[in-house]
Amino acid sequence: MSEKVLMKGNEALAEAAIRAGCRHFFGYPITPQTEVAAYMAKRMPKIGGTYLQAESEVAAINMVYGASAAGARVMTSSSSPGVSLKMEGISYMIGANLPAVIINVQRGGPGLGGIQPSQADYWMATRAMGHGDGHIIVFAPSTVQEMADLVAKAFDLGDKYRIPVMILADGLLGQMMEPVILPEPIDQENLADKDWALTGHQDQRKHNTISSLFLEPQELENDILKRRERYLIIEQAEPMAQVEYMDDAEVAVVAFGAASRIARSAVNKARANGVKVGLVRPVTLWPFPKDILSAVGDKVKALLCVEFSTGQMIEDVRLAVHDKVPVSFFGHTGGIVPTPDEVVVAIERMVAGEQFHILPFKSRLTGGAS
Amino acid sequence: MADLQIMLAGFGGQGILFAGKLIAYSGLIDGRELSWLPSYGPEMRGGTANCSVCLSDAPIGSPLVVDPDILIAMNVPSFNRFVEAVKPGGIILVDSTIADVCCMRDDVQFYRVPATQLSEEHNLQTLANVILVGRLLKLTEFTCASSLDTAIDKSVSAKRIDLVNFNKQAWRLGYEFTDLKECG
């Protein structure tokens, strides 16, 4: 096993992508994901890969489309406003059944927003990554180690299901350094052959076609329904979540990504005060780990979602538990990171039987109910 | 070893992030859990920069230090911004050449180190940050001398062996320093 090194989340992710066989990167600069592109710019030329700074995000995602159609393991990375620009291309890739890894190191929105950490792109990533009937797989890492580990998994699942996969990180995870054990490089020879790819064949086989255009409605419906069957398989096989402190838990906190780090500190503090609180961390946001949440919902009296937004994942949590238990919300948005003490206050209020949706835009310590 | 939440703050260019990295790297060498989180954005271009470092024997939850055990402040605005946040019983270290301040709190340990002046006197310009890390080592033993030396080996480009030695000299200077008693 290789040794532990100290790396920024963005850099660990980029190195892990290379080790997962990514040899093509197309991007456009934006804070706070810059280190991903900078790392690729430095490394790709040395390993015979392609690093290209496109003229725009739209151009970059269409280069990704092209490389993927040719069978390459390809990646692009951006931050929230830039990902909005890529949505058209991602929808085309969904329609053309093309795998790729798309990184979103989220910052505050809407619009240009700010540059501090945010999770306000949950809805965009899980619901509306472009127009049409479609989904992408979405992973939410919560440590630098996971930034590295999940990117390899993202490439594998993308190829397996022929679907774009997003790593939904944020500025906090991208910029922080932690010890990380980088995954071993894969053997490119062992990757499954992509018999659908547009590779030159000198008329030795039937032509492959890659397109998302179906002018005949029945053809389009058939295509969408075929893809939906794959989605159903993904929803069965791929949900991931980490469930902790549930043995004696009477309530639980649900949080993903960087917010789960704050939640973990708060859960530890609350448990030190004798509060029996569990922690559930969805690792895949689509497919959402519904069954795991549902099982947790059967065991506890109340749930609290903590997000860096005004409350987006909470809708999936409520659906998963069928509103059998009250689901409260606490969060900050716009780039403000909640403090563990604020979350402890929210946990205590949940334990006291309150149901609330707090967005404390005045006081950071006690919050104001809205 | 105790869990430590450390906040380092100063002007962009004073080596705040590097000082934090040395502390973080020593934690890696000691086999501990750690996190290093910089402020990022416009402050990198000359405003106030700060850096959160957590050292622990358990997995780190929030990497953002809100109420530090230790504050290293390298300018007055940083001292003013974070002085009240330090936990009771915590430690505040200032570069008193630049932050010629007094601490009005009596529930923290306050240390004034003229780190910039020391760095200039010993021909270690720009290493006031590392001098302060050495002073912190003496006060808290957050790591050992050999781990900190290894952290410097890992953090400074091997092409700059002269800088490696200057850094090692700088933390020892801070380690040996006896604090100024009087307040500015």
Query: pLDDT tens digit string along A245-297?
Result: 999 999 999 999 999 999 999 999 999 999 999 999 999 999 999 999 999 99
In a domain, B181, yes or no: no
Please judge whether A177 and B64 are an interchain contact, meaning their C-beta atoms are less than 8 angstroms apart: no
In a domain, B9, yes or no: yes
Query: What is d(CA A146, CA A129) in angstroms, rounded to the nearest whole number?
Result: 23
- Taking any CB pair shorter than 8 Å as contact, residues of chain A touching chain B are 4-6, 31-32, 115-116, 171-172, 175-179, 261-266, 268, 337, 339-341
Residue entry with tokens 């609350």: A270
CB pairs under 8 A between A and B: 64
In a domain, B170, yes or no: yes
Domain holding B152: CATH number? 3.40.920.10
pTM higher than 0.90, yes or no? yes
Please judge whether B35 and A178 are an interchain contact, meaning their C-beta atoms are less than 8 angstroms apart: yes
pLDDT in tens, B79-132: 999 999 999 999 999 999 999 999 999 999 999 999 999 999 999 999 999 999
In a domain, B44, yes or no: yes
Looking at residue A367, its pLDDT comes to 41
In a domain, B162, yes or no: yes
* Domain of residue B79, residue span: 4-176
Looking at residue B46, its pLDDT comes to 62
Q: How many domains does chain B have?
A: 1
Please judge whether B61 and A261 are an interchain contact, meaning their C-beta atoms are less than 8 angstroms apart: yes
**Does position B77 have pLDDT exceeding 80, yes or no?**
yes
Average pLDDT on A335-339 reads: 93
Please judge whether A177 and B40 are an interchain contact, meaning their C-beta atoms are less than 8 angstroms apart: no
In a domain, B83, yes or no: yes
Looking at residue A363, its pLDDT comes to 47
**Around Cβ B5, how many Cβ atoms within 10 Å?**
24
Q: Which residues of B touch A116 (CB under 8 A)?
A: 41
Please report the ipTM that was assigned to this predicted complex: 0.94
Please judge whether A31 and B36 are an interchain contact, meaning their C-beta atoms are less than 8 angstroms apart: no
Query: What is d(CA A106, CA A142) in angstroms, rounded to the nearest whole number?
Result: 13
Strands A4-8 and A50-53: unpaired
Residue entry with tokens 């019983």: B89
- For chain A, say whether B29 makes contact (Cβ under 8 Å): no
CB A178 within 8 A of CB B35: yes
Map residue A171 onto helix, strand or coil. helix
Please name the residues in contact with A202: beta carbons below 8 A apart, sequence gap of 6 or more: none
Domains and CATH numbers, chain A: 4-199+225-237 (3.40.50.970), 241-358 (3.40.50.920)
CB A145 within 8 A of CB A160: no
